[in-house]
Chain A
Amino acid sequence: NAGVTQTPKFQVLKTGQSMTLQCAQDMNHNSMYWYRQDPGMGLRLIYYSASEGTTDKGEVPNGYNVSRLNKREFSLRLESAAPSQTSVYFCASSEADGYTFGSGTRLTVV
C-alpha cells in the first residue's frame, strides 16, 4: 500500500549517543515533516521540507538536524541524544489533499 514508512519502530539510546530516524514516502508528495508527540503536549513540528533540497525549522528544532535526501526520503538526526528527546516521532508527507502519517518511532533516551 502507498504511504509513509518509518524505521526503526522502537529504539533505546543512551544519553549522548547519536542516531538517524529514516522516513520514506511513495506518494510523490513534495512536502515532508517530522513531528514529535508527548503526553499532554500534542504533536509538535520539529522540521519540515517544502520540496526536495529545502528544509526549515519548526516549533521545536533544537537538538535535531534533518536531510531531504531526495523527493522520497527525509531523515531526522539526533547528534547527542538527551532524556528530553524521549518521545514518539512521526514523519508525514502532504499535498493539497491532506497529510499522511507514518506509524511512528518510539524513542527512549536513558
Chain B
Amino acid sequence: KQEVTQIPAALSVPEGENLVLNCSFTDSAIYNLQWFRQDPGKGLTSLLLIQSSQREQTSGRLNASLDKSSGRSTLYIAASQPGDSATYLCAVRSLAGTASKLTFGTGTRLQVTL
C-alpha cells in the first residue's frame, strides 16, 4: 500500500526566504506526482504535475523535483511572500491509466510572515 509522508508538518518563515517542502513515498512504481495548494476552508489548487519520466517541473517561483528511485519529491518556493501562506499537499498516482487513484500526504502548513 502506497504511503505518502510530508515533512515538516508546519513551517513558518519570514518573507523573502527560499524554502523547501519535502514529500516521500513508499512505492516507487508511480505514474506521476502532483503538488497542490489548499487555502483555509477552500478546495485544492493544482500547482505542479511531474510525470514519472520527468525530473522536475517549474512554474514561476515554484520548482518541483522528483527522484522516483529514492521515493522523494521536493517543492522549492523562491522568494516567499505572505500570499504563499497555505497548506501544501503532495499526492502520488500509483497506476497508469485514467482509473488510477491519488494517495495524499497530510500536508505542510506554511506561514510566511512580514
* Residues of chain A at the chain B interface (Cβ within 8 Å): 29-31, 33, 40-45, 48, 50-51, 56, 58, 90, 92, 94-104, 106
Contact = CB atoms under 8 A, between A and B. Distances in A.
30 contacts: A29-B98, A30-B98, A41-B106, A42-B104, A42-B105, A42-B106, A42-B107, A44-B104, A45-B101, A48-B101, A50-B98, A50-B99, A51-B98, A51-B99, A56-B99, A58-B101, A90-B44, A92-B102, A98-B32, A99-B34, A99-B46, A99-B102, A100-B46, A101-B36, A101-B44, A101-B45, A101-B46, A102-B43, A104-B43, A106-B41
Contacts of B46: 98-101
Interface of B: 4, 32, 34, 36, 41-46, 49, 89, 91, 97-99, 101-102, 104-107
Given A50-B99, A95-B98, A101 B104 contact: no
B91 A99 contact: yes
Consensus secondary structure, chain A interface: strand
B54 to A, nearest CB: 13
A104 B99 contact: no
A48 B101 CA distance: 8
Given A90-B43, A98-B32, A48 B98 contact: no
Contact of A98 (B34, B43, B104): B34
Nearest to A48: B101
B44 A31 contact: no
A90 B104 CA distance: 13
The 4 closest A-B pairs by CB, nearest first: A50-B99, A103-B43, A101-B44, A42-B106
A41 B3 CA distance: 12
A101 to B, nearest CB: 4
Given A50-B98, A97-B49, A104 B42 contact: yes
